[in-house]
Homo-oligomer: A and B are copies of this chain.
Amino acid sequence: MIIVKIGGGENINISGVIADLAKLDEKFIVVHGANALRDELAQKLNYEKKILTSVSGYQSVYSDDEALDSMMMAYSGLRNKRIVEEFQKNGVNAVGITGLDGKTIQGKRNKGIRVRENGKLKMLRDFSGKPQSVNTDLINLLLDNNYTPVLTMPIIDETGYAINSENDDVVAVLQKELKAGKVIQLIEATGFLENSKDDSSVIHKITKAELETKEHQVEGRMKRKVLALRNLFESSDTTVYISDGRTEHPIEDALNGKGTVIE
């Protein structure tokens, strides 16, 4: 069993990824993003990206109704269905669903962000949150009947609302339940880099222990990514491949260790 996470960058070679996956003997499940597509769409539709600054100085994107709309169009609509179509053309009977469908990925909605507006303190609550659990019944029902789940945003909160979340966290909760032997993450870089500005500085092998050290060396979004990686090893032994999604054969390259292998 393999969990494949396909990043949402615009240069990922989707047809190459799918052609590679179609050749595998192992079962797999796909989790994909679509942030480049979503941003492009939101811009064309004049949806404004709202960035809030909390009273403690922390900046975050405010996921309002429009943000969810554009996510549904880009992630659940265009990207998900084009990926499913490509799988079908390659003979893989894919079923594209979001975390909402069948409550596949259940999360906890964020309490809100404390902001100061016109001098007054205010809690602003948006449609975002963190995945907590997985409806493994539905995922296994699909897998056992030879359907390949292709999962994407949004996920579902405690009361049935669609919420935005991080795919890294979705992969972590999936791995906790599915205990996949391999997790492949395809990104728009050659792998986990020693120097983020140098594509040739790929670290080809990292151990779980080294990951912990790394967590203290990096910042911001990267820190969150390393933490999410560490979570993958919490529930079971697995091998994680972080590899370039832009090559001709992204999955083959990943499994051949061209990127970073963590075990």
Please tell me the number of chain A residues within 8 Å of chain B, measured between CB atoms: 41
- Which residues of A are in contact with B by a Cβ distance under 8 Å? 41, 44-45, 69, 72-78, 80-82, 84-85, 88-91, 93-98, 100-103, 137-138, 141, 145, 147, 154, 156, 159-162
Contact of A97 among B41, B45, B77, B97 (CB under 8 A): B97
- Chain B nearest CB from A185 CB (Å) reads 24
Inside 8 A of A69's CB, which chain B residues have their CB?
78
- A103 vs B145: C-alpha distance in the bound complex, in angstroms? 13
Inside 8 A of A90's CB, which chain B residues have their CB?
160
Using A101-B95, A102-B93 as known contacts, say yes or no to A73 and B78 having CB atoms under 8 A apart: yes
**Who on chain B is nearest to A162 by CB?**
B85
- A74 vs B45: C-alpha distance in the bound complex, in angstroms? 13
Chain B CB within 10 A, most for which of A76, A84, A159: A84
Inside 8 A of A159's CB, which chain B residues have their CB?
89
Establish whether residues A145 and B156, one from each chain, have CB atoms under 8 Å apart when the complex forms. no
Inside 8 A of A45's CB, which chain B residues have their CB?
44-45
Establish whether residues B100 and A81, one from each chain, have CB atoms under 8 Å apart when the complex forms. yes
Establish whether residues A73 and B84, one from each chain, have CB atoms under 8 Å apart when the complex forms. no
Inside 8 A of A154's CB, which chain B residues have their CB?
81
- A134 vs B38: C-alpha distance in the bound complex, in angstroms? 32
Contact of A73 among B41, B93, B94, B95 (CB under 8 A): B41
